[in-house]
Amino acid sequence: MPTDCHVVQRRAHLRLDADCPVESRRRGGVTGAGNHRRRNTRNISAGGLQFVVQRKITETVVVETLSNSGWRVGRDAVLLEADVVRVFDATDIGPDGRPMPPATPPRPPRTLVAVRFVTISDDAQDLIVRRIFSLQRLRREGPRR
């Protein structure tokens, strides 16, 4: 690597690509039916997560902060506040993040929402980190026989 190049780390926490079920209860956030939603993550870290909403981006209305949100990651429940940092249409984006060619019939709509945790206790953050390590361990060891 040339000496005049510098690596810039944008994230403060390890982020793991993971299709992990999460549940949320909230007062504000991504609109949908009711205040209780089950979703799947696209990736997760101790500082935030990205999840999939099975709606068109035009039908997904987002407020800036998910306040007093109760999240369940695996079996663990955490209370936090999160800022929505990015929302984008992922209907034609593959699991590897690359664009896919148009499909016939059209794919069902998907919107990705990325949130950054603003207020989260050390214990809640620790639960998420343990969940990430657990997912990594399962990937490394493979399924049990």
How many whole angstroms separate alpha carbon 33 and alpha carbon 37?
A: 8
> Which two three-digit tokens encode residue 126?
């620790």
Asked whether 144 and 28 are in contact (CB, 8 A), the reply is no
What digits encode the pLDDT tens for the residues 10-41?
A: 666 777 787 777 776 655 445 544 455 777 78
Cut 0.75: pTM above it? no
For residue 115, name the pLDDT band (cuts at 50, 70, 90): confident
Mean pLDDT of the chain: 76
Structural domains of the chain, ranges and CATH numbers in brackets: 16-141 (2.40.10.220)
> Which two three-digit tokens encode residue 127?
């639960």
